[in-house]
Amino acid sequence: MATCSNESSPKENRNYLTLDKLLKEVAEPVVRKKFDIEFHPAVLQKTLTKESVKIKKFTNGKQRNILFPQRVQVPVCSSDFDLTLMILLIKKLTSIEISEHLPVPIITSPGADLSRIKYYRNKLAHSNGRLPNIEFEQQWVEVCEMYERGKVVQF
pLDDT tens digits, residue range 69-122? 887 677 899 999 999 999 999 999 999 999 999 999 899 999 999 999 999 999
pLDDT tens digits, residue range 11-38? 999 999 999 999 999 889 889 999 999 9
* Selection from 81, 80, 111 nearest residue 94 by Cα: 111
pLDDT tens digits, residue range 65-83? 999 988 767 789 999 999 9
CB-side neighbour CA atoms (13 Å) of 83 = 23
CB-side neighbour CA atoms (13 Å) of 60 = 3
Element (H, E) at 48: helix 44-50
Domain ranges of the chain: 10-152
* Separation between Cα atoms, residue 130 and residue 115, nearest integer Å: 22
What is the pLDDT confidence band of residue 153, given thresholds at 50, 70 and 90?
very low
